[in-house]
């Protein structure tokens, strides 16, 4: 018989079916459709001990006195009212390690796409069915020997740095947290101030959580510092970049191009002016949810919840800024 009841917030569908199928035998999953009203969601969650979600209102939690932990399936927790939830005595744990490999690989793919001008080659060859070749048709660069700046050397940033070693890049990074010297040596990275990173990098890639401090951290001032032939890659959270400022920088060719897996508003409006530019690659926030990373996220979520409910200390707990 199940000994723990866990609410999983998701519309019915393949993702929900997967999470239910992966639940341990002693866990009963309560599927909560986020489209339901707060009262309807609360009624389903009234006696659950844990929740798997990246978004739930405090009003719902007030009606669920048994909840001990909210576990996310991704690194992000910016849609949770962290201060209010922690004040209620409920723990919050994220899942950053699960998708670190997937996001880092997507980041490298963005870098290669931008450097190799692959999106233009695809469009002209596959969509327009024209066979154009030669340096006069495409501006193609290598990543090797370039300076890559990683903003945020957390679990994902470290995975990006690890993969860049194979490209023989000069990799620099900025982080508010000190990284041990032995880790810097292992990853072949060098710490610098953010302004220096922006000025020196051929590619700037962002891997920070969305917090009060990081919201809009890349805006007009920062983009003005970048090289005119530099690329910006954002596979963390859309609001980390001031989208209007980025549009200005791209349309005025203050930077060469951008690769974005995330935008300020998602789903983004169909009239987003970034769609009108020919120097931006956009993917629909798909860097993280791969087959392997989804499996890792589910495994960790159930493991971490079980650990807490058995009286041990949960891992990957989130604390206020």
Mean pLDDT, consecutive 10-residue segments, the chain of 321 residues?
A: 86 95 95 96 97 96 97 91 95 90 97 92 88 78 96 96 97 96 98 98 96 96 98 97 98 98 96 97 93 94 96 92 69
Q: Which residue range is the domain that position 66 belongs to?
A: 4-98+290-309
> Active-site residue 237, yes or no?
yes
- List the catalytic residue out of 285, 296, 312, 321: 285
Q: Looking at residue 284, what is its pLDDT?
A: 97
Does residue 133 sit within a domain? yes
Q: Please tell me the distance from the alpha carbon of residue 74 to that of residue 40, in angstroms, as a whole number.
A: 25
What CATH number is associated with residue 115? 3.40.50.720
Shared domain for 166 and 218, answered yes or no, is yes
Catalytic residue among 87, 266, 292, 312: 266
- Residue 37 sits in the same domain as residue 149: no
Q: Give the integer Cα–Cα distance in Å for 162 and 9.
A: 34
Active-site residue flag, 87: no
In a domain, 218, yes or no: yes
Whole-model pTM? 0.90
Beta partners for 202?
A: none
Report the 10 Å Cβ neighbour count for 124: 15
CB count, 10 Å around CB of 282? 17
Nearest alpha carbon to residue 218 among 194, 242, 201: 242
Q: Is 224 a catalytic site residue?
A: no
- Rounded distance, CA 140 to CA 118, Å? 9
Nearest CA to 67 among 7, 11, 9? 7
Q: Is residue 320 part of a domain?
A: no
Q: What is the pLDDT of residue 1?
A: 43
Catalytic residue selected from 120, 237, 243, 296: 237
- Token digits of residue 183: 């880790």
Q: Length of the chain, please?
A: 321
Are residues 142 and 153 located together in one domain of the fold?
yes
Could you tell me if 246 and 176 lie in one domain?
Answer: yes
234 and 158 within one domain: yes
Query: Do 125 and 71 share a structural domain?
Result: no
**Of the candidates 72, 98, 49, 135, which has an alpha carbon nearest to the alpha carbon of residue 310?**
49
Strand partners, 51: 7, 70
């Amino acid at each position: 018989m199940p000994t723990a009841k866990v609410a999983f917030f998701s519309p019915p569908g393949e993702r929900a079916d997967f999470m239910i199928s992966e639940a341990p035998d002693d866990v009963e999953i309560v599927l909560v459709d986020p489209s339901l009203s707060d009262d309807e969601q609360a009624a389903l969650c009234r006696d659950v001990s844990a929740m798997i979600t990246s978004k739930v209102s405090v009003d719902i939690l007030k009606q669920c006195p048994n909840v001990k932990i909210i576990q996310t399936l991704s690194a992000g927790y910016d849609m949770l009212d962290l201060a209010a939830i922690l004040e209620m005595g409920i723990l919050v744990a994220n899942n950053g390690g699960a998708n670190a490999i997937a996001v880092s690989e997507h980041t490298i793919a963005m870098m290669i796409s931008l450097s190799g001008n692959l999106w233009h080659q695809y469009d002209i060859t596959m969509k327009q069915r024209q066979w154009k070749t030669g340096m006069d048709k495409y501006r193609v660069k290598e990543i090797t020997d370039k300076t890559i700046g990683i903003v945020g050397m957390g679990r994902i940033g470290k995975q990006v740095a690890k993969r860049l070693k194979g490209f023989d890049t000069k990799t620099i990074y900025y982080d508010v947290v000190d990284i041990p010297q032995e880790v810097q040596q292992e990853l072949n990275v060098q710490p610098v101030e953010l302004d220096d990173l922006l000025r020196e990098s051929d590619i700037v890639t962002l891997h920070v959580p969305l917090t009060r401090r990081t919201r809009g951290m890349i805006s007009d001032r920062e983009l003005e510092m970048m090289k005119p032939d530099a690329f910006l890659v954002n596979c963390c959270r859309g609001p980390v970049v001031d989208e209007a400022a980025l549009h200005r920088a791209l349309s005025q060719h203050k930077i060469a191009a951008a690769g974005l897996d995330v935008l300020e508003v998602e789903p983004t409006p169909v009239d987003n002016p970034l769609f009108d530019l020919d120097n931006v690659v956009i993917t629909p926030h798909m860097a993280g949810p791969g087959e392997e990373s989804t499996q890792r996220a589910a495994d960790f979520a159930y493991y971490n919840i079980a650990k807490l409910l058995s009286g041990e200390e949960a891992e990957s707990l989130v604390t206020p800024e």
